[in-house]
């Protein structure tokens, strides 16, 4: 069983990313995620359409839609590490729109 993971708001991601999996501060990384390379991964979430009676048959339709996930590849003294930033990037973009920086 995997250990429990700390839950925190996306705004704290830069601060939280300064620690590694052992909860030790990363050496050579100040938490500035904007300096890290932005990567995108497209996954698909799919749903099987059920019949009127709730059944699934061999002929049931499968409907899929894309789900975009964003990551930052960062470096510290140990090498590179990845941080998922999907929600953080969305909040960052919303703040920029409010300030008129993004159109």
pLDDT along the chain (103 residues), means of 10: 80 93 91 95 94 90 94 96 92 74 58
Three-state DSSP at 82 gives: strand
Query: In this predicted structure, what is the pLDDT of residue 23?
Result: 86
Report the distance separating Cα 17 and Cα 81, nearest Å: 10
Query: In this predicted structure, what is the pLDDT of residue 12?
Result: 94
Q: How much is the pTM?
A: 0.73
Q: How would DSSP label each residue in 54-73?
A: S---TT--EEEEEEEEEEEE
């Amino acid at each position: 069983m995997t250990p429990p993971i700390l839950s925190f708001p996306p705004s704290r991601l830069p601060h939280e990313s300064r620690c590694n999996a052992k909860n030790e501060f990363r050496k050579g990384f100040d938490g500035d995620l904007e300096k890290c390379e932005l990567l995108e991964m497209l996954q698909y979430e799919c749903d099987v359409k059920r019949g009127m009676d709730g059944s699934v048959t061999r002929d049931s339709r499968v409907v899929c839609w894309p789900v975009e996930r964003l990551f930052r590849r960062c470096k510290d003294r140990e090498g590179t590490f990845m941080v998922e930033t999907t929600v953080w990037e969305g909040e960052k973009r919303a703040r920029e729109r409010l300030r008129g920086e993004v159109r």
